[in-house]
Chains A and B, each alone.
Chain A
């Protein structure tokens, strides 16, 4: 008989081992599904997990990894701060959209003027937009005690409507022959988030993501505010005893994650995407939730998890064209990853014991 037994303290080995085991389990279970479907599992797994890194066209795919990973890491770092404190911002997707809108809106307000200050101003506007959008659930929670999970999630759909309205109205390209969507910022040098080193995929958003990782690491490990965040998540009552003001933490965590999601949206619209369009958002804000948990809510873990998740995006894209797999394959992989991670997480706090059935 298998029995779960609570550990005296959480196992460090399992805390870090669980994501690795979850990845392996996902690959095995995914391979099994493909095999049942009649597709060669080894080929598919190879296409998704190997080819983007070391395959024939890897030099083309590797920069793509950075492009996909940057927004995921940026958003997930912000989310992890709140998640550590038990403050659940599920609406990063909405903050991402609003950040893109305010960032692009700022640029388009100056068009066609050129100036060094335009891009930095866009960065500020993008962060501010996402932050303010996240302040809605924060204010409602602090003042009325509403559930931030529901409010932030619902605001994603509001943000999508605003995005559609903007692409069809206020921000629509006047020279776009009536098509929805804004001007392409890639053709507006002062606003373009170009690659810092050409051909590497390394744009300003990637730099921002790396800075966010370092910043979050220092905050959580060396700063009182980070300690209060962790304490609130571990033992809310002890946190109040230690003098933490919960409302202040709610505002900080939602504000910071909103600002980072807004930044990610702004870097995306000014760079890889180039323009505001109705289908601008592709779910980074939701995938980042998986990234945050897969990375153990730890900054360095999130960096690795973001790269891994980017790999499934890029690899999944290749497998669509190479093996003709449906686009939902990527989502299935991501879903399984979260599922297995949560399952193996049990082993951090519990150990499995084989016991003989006791005789009654």
Chain B
């Protein structure tokens, strides 16, 4: 390898925030046309690092060179001008505008709409990402929206494309299409910095990998020659504890949905259509699906935030569709929503107050309408203790906790209330591997004790790990529920809606 082969070189990059060093002396090289993985847990410093490359954050120390020249972008515009493009995990698109308008908005000097539309068609077809420039973004699937973001980047003819967790919103089939595009780009000499914590994907796609832990580079490896387990252990720094469970026979039916339908609560929400399922005592039912296919709505319909005809939700033989959240809690149907801050917990309220938020009913924290603060505090302390929530104490605000710790708290809060049925949505989203293992183990223990558990998740590995039976949500409909054992990735992908009608232009 000669020096000219190197596109981007990082040396000694360091960035500290008050109280935390996000990156310490990180350095590695990305060759031309290389697909380079940046691997690490949440909080390992991946985001900070790419933000420095993209000009969103300025390093405290260290230097970067792009094509042999010093590279210090003051802002994203400068980075883009130098040939660095980025596709963010969260899309920045306007639902009400069409594809071409959205792309024009991000351009410094947009061409005529007709010319732009033509270019969008050309570029998107050249890279196997067919896209109609005049479709309204609000009508697109998550995979198609990602295409918009990618095409937006490709129009700039980038030398380096940064992709932040691009597959978290895709079905396996859509992932294949994306990978084909990325491979073509790489073959043409575009380098790709690929951020992920999904190890099998990295093994399938990437030429090299840099692993970060707690802000430091801990290893580089060639993913194809390294096992997923080895990479995971490098990432976490200890041996991974895989949740375990004893095989058992499921008990009687705890919760039944009979043709549950509900209108979309918001304009861009998803309507639930005829969802039918049963979940038995002692089993874990895993529900997969790409984001935005009715997960939030299903959780709300189970928690009681959305009510339905009484007979659509049946709990231990009782029709409860019209019951509100507290009525369902009283019976033992508990839920844990996806959004930690603002939905499962009130950000500025203390942990004691947040313990009260769902615990009031079953933990007897209220008598005659008056609050028992002492008891609420003990309940919060019990959750903190049992789930090893790292916080100075229950009087701290929920938002002062890290994502993983708050997640342990809000899931722990429901687990500690001895639910008959527990429904959780994305229980380990954005949580470090250690906390995720604790949470999964708690869910499995709960099922062991006879609770019926429904896990809604976009993480297929997680679902395969915990589920007894499996189904997928697609545009508000639920697929057939099947035993999880022996399911192939292809079968799961088809249940999730396959490629959502997206096709590859053959290139």
Contact = CB atoms under 8 A, between A and B. Distances in A.
Interface of A: 5, 8-10, 222-225, 227, 230-231, 234-235, 237-243, 245, 358, 360
A238 B343 CA distance: 4
B329 interface: yes
Contacts of A241: 303, 305, 325, 335, 337, 343-344, 357-358
Given A9-B399, A234-B347, A237-B342, A227 B356 contact: yes
A242 B72 CA distance: 48
Given A9-B396, A9-B400, A223-B371, A242 B348 contact: no
A224 B371 CA distance: 6
24 contacts: A8-B400, A9-B348, A9-B397, A9-B400, A10-B348, A10-B397, A222-B370, A223-B371, A224-B366, A224-B371, A225-B369, A231-B346, A231-B357, A235-B343, A235-B345, A235-B347, A237-B339, A238-B342, A238-B345, A241-B305, A241-B335, A241-B357, A243-B304, A243-B329
**Leading 3 A-B pairs by shortest Cβ distance:** A243-B326, A235-B346, A243-B325
Contacts of B345: 235, 238
B447 to A, nearest CB: 23
A327 B335 CA distance: 58
B353 interface: yes
Given A222-B370, A224-B369, A235-B343, A242 B357 contact: yes
B324 interface: yes
Contact of B370 (A8, A223, A234, A245): A223
B337 A231 contact: no
Interface string B1-20: 00000000000000000100
Contacts of B18: 5
B349 interface: yes
Contacts of B343: 235, 237-238, 241
Interface in B379-420: 396-397, 399-400
Contacts of A5: 18
Given A222-B371, A241-B303, A242-B325, 4 more contacts: A9-B396, A243-B324, A243-B325, A360-B72
A230 B349 contact: yes
A162 B343 CA distance: 44
B38 to A, nearest CB: 24
B273 interface: no
B360 interface: yes
Contacts of A239: 346
A238 B371 contact: no
Contacts of A234: 346-349
Interface in B11-55: 18
A241 B341 CA distance: 12
Contacts of B329: 243
A238 B358 CA distance: 10
Given A224-B366, A224-B370, A238 B397 contact: no
Contacts of A237: 339, 342-343
A10 B399 CA distance: 10
A224 B367 CA distance: 9
Nearest to A240: B305
Nearest to B73: A360
A358 B324 CA distance: 54
B74 interface: yes
Nearest to A238: B346
B184 interface: no
A26 B373 CA distance: 39
Contacts of A242: 325-326, 357-358, 360
Interface of B: 18, 58, 72, 74, 303-305, 324-326, 329, 335, 337, 339, 341-349, 353, 356-358, 360-361, 366, 369-371, 373, 396-397, 399-400
Contacts of B339: 237
> Which of B58, B303, B342, B366 has the largest count of A CB atoms less than 10 A from its CB?
B342
Contacts of A9: 348, 396-397, 399-400
> Which of A8, A222, A237, A238 has the largest count of B CB atoms less than 10 A from its CB?
A238
A293 to B, nearest CB: 17
B406 to A, nearest CB: 13
A242 B329 CA distance: 10
A239 B347 CA distance: 12
Contacts of A243: 304, 324-326, 329, 361
A237 B296 CA distance: 12
Nearest to A10: B348
> Which of B324, B329, B346, B369 has the largest count of A CB atoms less than 10 A from its CB?
B346
Nearest to A237: B343
A245 B307 CA distance: 12
Contact of B324 (A8, A231, A235, A245): A245
Contacts of B325: 240-243
A9 B395 CA distance: 11
Given A222-B370, A222-B371, A358 B58 contact: yes
A239 B72 CA distance: 46
A234 B349 CA distance: 8
Contact of B344 (A223, A224, A238): A238
B340 to A, nearest CB: 10
A227 B347 CA distance: 14
Nearest to A239: B346
A222 B74 CA distance: 52
A238 B325 CA distance: 11
A220 to B, nearest CB: 10
Contact of A223 (B72, B342, B369, B396): B369
Nearest to A244: B325
Contacts of A358: 58
B339 to A, nearest CB: 7
Contact of B357 (A8, A223, A238): A238
Contacts of B397: 8-10
Contacts of B358: 241-242
B8 to A, nearest CB: 19
Contacts of B370: 222-224
B149 to A, nearest CB: 27
Nearest to B366: A224
Contacts of A238: 342-346, 357
B58 A224 contact: no
Nearest to A226: B371
B381 to A, nearest CB: 19
Nearest to B330: A243
Contacts of B335: 241
Contacts of B399: 8-9
Contacts of B337: 241
A223 B367 CA distance: 9
A240 B344 CA distance: 10
A237 B373 CA distance: 23
Contact of B360 (A8, A10, A224, A245): A224
Contacts of A240: 305, 325
Contacts of A235: 341-343, 345-347, 349
